[in-house]
Amino acid sequence: MSALGSVVADRQIIVCCGSGGVGKTTTAAALALEAARRGRRACVVTIDPAKRLADALGLEALTNEPGKIEGDWPGELWALMLDTKSTFDDLVMRYSDDKDQARRILDNRLYRNISGALSGTQEYMAMEKLYELHDEGRFDVVVVDTPPTRNALDFLDAPRRLTRFLDNRIFRLLMTPTRAYLRAVSVATQAFLRTISKVVGGEVVADAVAFFQAFEGMEQGFRERAQHVLSLMSDPATAFVLVASPRRDAVDEALFFASRLHESSISVEALVVNRLYPRFGAGSADEARSRASSLAGTPLAELYDNLADFREVAEREERHFAALAEKVAPAPIARVPFLAADVHDLAGLQRVGEFLFS
Amino acid sequence: MDPAGFCTQSRVFIVAGKGGVGKTTVTAALARMAALAGLTTLIVEVEGKSGIGAAFGRSEPLTYEEVVLSAGGGPDGAADIRARTLTPDDALLEYLEDHGMRRISKRLLSSGAIDVVSTAVPGIKDILVLGKVKALERSAAADLIVLDAPAAGHAVTFLTSAAGLLDAVRMGPIRAQAEDVLALLSDPARCQVLLVTLPEETPVNEVVETAYKLEDRVGVQLAPVVVNGVYPVMEGLDVDVAAAAAEADVFLRPGEAEDLAEAARFRLDRMALQAEQVRRLADGLPLPQLELPFLFTTELGPDEVDVLARALADSVRKLP
């Protein structure tokens, strides 16, 4: 069985990561489809699929709940498009003491901005959704596509960033309503908040205070949950698949990502390299180029120049590829060639699968 | 249109597009084209990535302090190209210092109050970055300022932040900043957005969607859309290899004819696919198009940027 084949057959969670535009979503969907073909109940969580792929997966309606894709396979294939805000809302509802507390948080303006503005929230909610789906036990395997982050660090730091935000001490001190605490608020802190008010307006500070008041008591639950989510990431049942294309910038980001995963003691289970140019023949680009110049003026010259062009691309890609392979060794590598058309249906996913699992 | 005229339509060009379409390549080519037309150019990088420096042969990362990426005054008559970073954190610190809050700026960062404020006021960091770009524009920091915008879906959020912030903050210096940014973005004589795409299906769909969003929500002037990575035309590929070999009186080794024929077929197929996507783009988006060639030969370095800048200039000259 191919290495990716055993990942799809055995693991409970598969995280596809890499920079934007390298085919992460397509890879994630192809992995989930293969799991279903092997008789497993699989669910793919996508972040921002291209529209036609979303249509093919039945993701037109954004419900944040998995939808089933019918097809001719022994297992099950489900897909959902992550809705960061509803995922966060669910989390608030889960940890609030009562409906009233939940309502006060959900209605707060600062809270309403969190899902769109706090960096790392989308990354964290992807992990949270993954945890929830895994925890419910409805699926044998959940495949997640990570957001195209500006900075790969965001993704692993997201839970910590969020809890740090929720634990913010300055606001916590100020908002606490009892008199004893009020005295504890130092003059410096009050001056500090007044300064913030002057810059962004008093309403913003008032919103923040109200938010932290409403959140009182919930941060412990959030922190524990974040801890569970993080430990799931390093669980042996979880596999990280690094997705890249052989362009220099994408390779640089993939190398950086591999280092970060390594620092977090997470190993890359497999590397998928998409959109590789074909290699025409065994000869070198230089050889074809010199043939072209010695044949200048004949109808063969252009043909050799063209051959040399593609061999140069292939040689360059091979060098990038080798650098990546060394970095993730001994992880196996799957190569997916340049396909004639973009993937936007199940047949296309299956074609990608043939390369992934060959 | 001549390249100098193109580059002086507005002082600021914001280069935007999804990840992987070659935004940085286009930023470099545009800057070099302007420099060749004798215009001093400042490249502003907002994500702390290394690509733009590498394109001009610089191995160290860019810094908040301007550096000269490509010194002018050579035989080609080019002007200087300078570059700097402008990350949201840098912009924020500078803003605080300019507003008499140097003393508390460290505490704002270390206490996490910044996170709270930037969440309470979405887009505040984007506004500070764009506000700084506006200040550079106002002080005429260069003849042309090229902003390499954030990648992915961030471009629309980035550029709509000013309008969104005006709803959230009713007074104070941040509101004034947002108003100034909106004035910059909505004035075609000061600022334009240059969208970048590839001649492939998904990137074409996405650029059309982004263009309409930007026009509807920001009212920003869209420059011609740049189609990056177009295969250069190569004649003489649609021939029978054996006949060509016979005509050249050349003996081909076993397998060589197949390699030549397959490579020729691959290029012709890709060119046909690209042409189809370029047509789809023209149908979906009524903007003029500029083309940049796909580079088969090497990685992007100063020589390649020069080739691309000249190709971009040729493409600009074909504009009415």
Give the DSSP per-residue string, A163-207.
HHHHT-HHHHHHH--SHHHHHHS-HHHHHHHHHHHHHH-HHHHHH
A217–B contact, CB cutoff 8 A: no
pLDDT at B247 over 70: yes
**Residue B298 to residue A313, Cβ atoms within 8 A:** no
Q: What's the pLDDT at B91?
A: 84
Q: Which chain B residue has its CA at the smallest distance from A288's CA? A: B260
Of A50, A303, A305, nearest to B241 by CB-CB distance is A303
Assess contact for B133 and B193: CB atoms under 8 A. no
Residues in B closer than 8 angstroms to A301, CB to CB, are 236
Q: What's the pLDDT at A170?
A: 64
Does residue B252 fall inside a structural domain? no
| pLDDT band at residue B154 under the 50/70/90 scheme | low
**How near does any CA of chain A get to the CA of B26, in Å?**
14
Q: Which chain B residue has its CA at the smallest distance from A344's CA? A: B202
3-state secondary structure of B37: coil
pLDDT at A339 over 80: yes
**Residue A208 to residue B264, Cβ atoms within 8 A:** no
The region that residue B78 occupies, defined by phi over 0 for left and psi between -120 and 50 for alpha, beta otherwise, is beta
**Residue A250 to residue B20, Cβ atoms within 8 A:** yes
Q: What's the pLDDT at A179?
A: 46
Q: What's the pLDDT at B130?
A: 92
Q: What mean pLDDT is predicted for residues A239-246?
A: 92
Does residue B168 fall inside a structural domain? yes
Residues in A closer than 8 angstroms to B104, CB to CB, are 192, 195
Compute the distance between CA of residue B97 and CA of residue B91 in angstroms, rounded to an integer. 10
Q: In chain A, what are the helix, strand and coil shares in percent, each to the nearest 5?
A: 60, 15, 30
Q: Which CATH number fits domain A3-356: 3.10.20.600, 3.40.640.10, 3.50.50.60, 3.40.50.300?
A: 3.40.50.300
A316–B contact, CB cutoff 8 A: yes
* A82 or A287, higher pLDDT: A287
Q: Which chain A residue has its CA at the smallest distance from B108's CA? A: A192
Does residue B76 fall inside a structural domain? yes
* A228 or B274, higher pLDDT: B274
**Residue B206 to residue A50, Cβ atoms within 8 A:** yes
- pTM assigned to the model: 0.88
CATH number of the domain that B298 lies in? 3.40.50.300
pLDDT at A40 over 90: yes
Most confident of A351-355, B160-164, B247-251: A351-355
Task: Please write the tens of the pLDDT for every residue from B4-53.
Answer: 999 999 999 999 988 788 899 999 999 999 999 999 999 999 887 778 99
Compute the distance between CA of residue B48 and CA of residue B84 in angstroms, rounded to an integer. 10
A22–B contact, CB cutoff 8 A: yes
H or E element at residue A274: strand A268-276
Q: What's the pLDDT at B35?
A: 97
pLDDT at A178 over 50: no
H or E element at residue A87: helix A84-95
Instruction: List CB contacts of B243: < 8 A, sequence separation 6 or more.
Output: none
**Residue A295 to residue B248, Cβ atoms within 8 A:** yes
A48–B contact, CB cutoff 8 A: yes
Q: Which chain B residue has its CA at the smallest distance from A49's CA? A: B202
A169–B contact, CB cutoff 8 A: yes
- Counting beta carbons within 10 angstroms of the beta carbon of residue B94, is it exposed (0 to 12), middle (13 to 18) or buried (19 or more)? middle
**How near does any CA of chain B get to the CA of A137, in Å?**
33
Q: Which chain B residue has its CA at the smallest distance from A22's CA? A: B20
Ordered alpha helix ranges (H), chain B: 3-7, 23-36, 51-55, 88-98, 102-111, 113-120, 124-138, 154-168, 173-185, 201-217, 241-248, 256-284, 302-317
Q: What's the pLDDT at B314?
A: 97
Any idea which of A209-218, B202-211, B283-292 has the lowest mean pLDDT? A209-218
Q: What mean pLDDT is predicted for residues B243-258?
A: 90
A52–B contact, CB cutoff 8 A: yes
H or E element at residue A28: helix A24-37
**How near does any CA of chain B get to the CA of A249, in Å?**
7
Q: What percent of chain B has pLDDT over 70?
A: 98
3-state secondary structure of A290: helix
3-state secondary structure of B50: coil
**How near does any CA of chain B get to the CA of A160, in Å?**
12
Domain range for B60: 3-233+286-317
Compute the distance between CA of residue B273 and CA of residue B267 in angstroms, rounded to an integer. 10
Residues in A closer than 8 angstroms to B121, CB to CB, are 113, 117, 200, 204
Q: What percent of chain A has pLDDT over 70?
A: 88
Task: Give domain limits for chain A.
Answer: 3-356
* A55 or B142, higher pLDDT: B142
* Mean pLDDT across chain B: 89
| pLDDT band at residue A2 under the 50/70/90 scheme | confident
Task: Please write the tens of the pLDDT for every residue from A286-331.
Answer: 999 999 999 999 999 999 999 999 999 999 999 988 888 898 888 8
A189–B contact, CB cutoff 8 A: no
Q: What's the pLDDT at A150?
A: 52
Q: What's the pLDDT at A135?
A: 92
Residues in B closer than 8 angstroms to A152, CB to CB, are none
Compute the distance between CA of residue B27 and CA of residue B46 in angstroms, rounded to an integer. 13
Of A20, A198, A295, nearest to B151 by CB-CB distance is A20
Residues in A closer than 8 angstroms to B19, CB to CB, are 19-21, 148
Q: What mean pLDDT is predicted for residues B94-111?
A: 75
Residue identified by tokens 């140097």 is: B102
pLDDT at B304 over 60: yes
Tell which of A204, A284, A345 to mutate to test the B interface (max B CBs under 10 Å).
A204
A187–B contact, CB cutoff 8 A: no
Tell which of B126, B296, B297, B298 to mutate to test the A interface (max A CBs under 10 Å).
B296
**Residue A303 to residue B200, Cβ atoms within 8 A:** no
**Residue B234 to residue A302, Cβ atoms within 8 A:** yes
pLDDT at B225 over 90: yes
| pLDDT band at residue A43 under the 50/70/90 scheme | very high
Of A20, A200, A249, nearest to B169 by CB-CB distance is A200
The total of structural domains in chain B comes to 1
Q: What's the pLDDT at B49?
A: 72
Tell which of A164, A280, A344 to mutate to test the B interface (max B CBs under 10 Å).
A280
Residues in A closer than 8 angstroms to B247, CB to CB, are 298-299
Compute the distance between CA of residue A94 and CA of residue A102 in angstroms, rounded to an integer. 9
Q: What's the pLDDT at A237?
A: 93
**How near does any CA of chain B get to the CA of A328, in Å?**
22
Of B151, B172, B255, nearest to A201 by CB-CB distance is B172
Compute the distance between CA of residue B277 and CA of residue B290 in angstroms, rounded to an integer. 14
In this structure, the dihedral spanned by the alpha carbons of residues B225, B189, B91 and A251, taken in order and rounded to 10 degrees, is: 10
* Mean pLDDT across chain A: 84
pLDDT at A199 over 90: no
pLDDT at B152 over 60: no
* A196 or B71, higher pLDDT: B71
Residues in B closer than 8 angstroms to A252, CB to CB, are 50
Does residue B246 fall inside a structural domain? no
Most confident of A150-154, A168-172, A289-293, B75-79: A289-293
